[in-house]
Structure 1
């Protein structure tokens, strides 16, 4: 992931973004995406720096398109895990939806990737035994991969209310799809200014780091330094 400069340079004005009460996190993620893309259609996945949305990181996620209509979570904030009651990385985004809504979500994902477009979904989870009603919003914003194809989405999911018994799944109340045109550059982030004393590179936050695929292992508290072992053989 590229270092986009100091934290102060990632502060973005929110004045031009309209928000629903309680769902301001979506506007902040959208503002960050707009600032990153400048005059382009969209930013690249490698440009996403968690420090740019650190106040709403728990609601953010990144999915990767792995097949038509199927996108798996590569990165997910803690709020998404709370909604499902489990670790959600690696799960398809449709897992957050009721079975009756999943086809619609798959079609929406294809529109976001192929058009390209951005989408906002209004969601509800109905009252059930042990599950109070929930209202939620989801935002989907396309990203280019390092290869230049549109195969990633920066998203935001916010659910309001008592989660109750998990997992919670949603139905779609309304959806809005907007075709993307080139940005006007008004929100573009300023380039880092040269200074006499160059800052020491800081390690990236783990909030938007993608876990290596295909490997799971136990955490080791006190790792020994790597070493070689000489094996003697008389053969």
Structure 2
């Protein structure tokens, strides 16, 4: 068994919400590493808007939520627009969440977070979050789309759940130059990510994923890294 096979088997199944958004994002990007923020059409993902937030990385070490859906805001118990992304997570887990967000945007890659609710008896599995990179109007990798999808058992009681997320695990998925990330259509409740790509567990003790050099990207999607000061959608 290869290392790729072992890491692939370590990944969880992803549910229909995340699969749906991944397929939509995959279709928009084509042979690029990431589609543009302005290409995202709310009408195409209406069913998932309440669980989606748009992230912005204006500079290294800073990721904030430009927009956040109602379900995610209700779960957090506060208005999330303009808040730092790290504010969603326990203090001890913020470095893992930020590593996942920065990896998704700058590598670029698809990051996955397994989330739990902190309870007296220990963390209770609650949801998955996928972070998908986007480019801004200048073609720079400074944005991301994050989709939160709670377990079915949590959904009826989402308004009763409060507090920050505990991160129980984290992964990064390399984006192929061509072809989809998600495998053939299967059971919508437990779709597996395509197994031909390299899966890497993402934990704080591991080395960060290497950033793609600009010359490795196709000319039509070469990122321009620069500090953006507000404003751009």
- Which residue of the other structure, out of 4, 20, 27, is the alignment partner of 1:35? 27
The answer to whether the Cα contact below 8 Å between 2:97 and 2:113 also exists between their aligned partners in 1 is no
Name the SS for the 1:140 alignment partner: strand
CA distance in 1, matches of 2:171, 2:89: 17
The answer to whether the Cα contact below 8 Å between 2:96 and 2:170 also exists between their aligned partners in 1 is no
Which one has the largest radius of gyration? 1
How many pairs are equivalent?
168
Q: Equivalent residue for 1:195?
A: none
1:183 aligns with 2:183: no
Q: TM-score, normalised by structure 2?
A: 0.65
User: Where does structure 1 differ by over 3 angstroms across 4 or more consecutive aligned residues?
Assistant: 163-167
1:213-232 equivalences in 2 (<5 Å): none
Shift of the alpha carbon at 1:184?
2.7
Q: 1:128 to 1:82 in 2, by over 3 A?
A: farther
Shift of the alpha carbon at 1:126?
2.0
Write the deviation string for residues 131-186 of structure 1: whole angstroms up to 9, x where unpaired. Answer: x9451110000001111110000110123323465642111111110122323379
Write the deviation string for residues 177-197 of structure 1: whole angstroms up to 9, x where unpaired. Answer: 01223233799xxxxxxxxxx
RMSD: 2.6
Unaligned runs of at least 5 residues, structure 1: 1-17, 188-211, 214-235
1:132-171 equivalences in 2 (<5 Å): 133=124, 135-160=126-151, 161=154, 162-163=157-158, 167-171=162-166
Q: TM-score, normalised by structure 1?
A: 0.64
Larger fraction in helix: 2
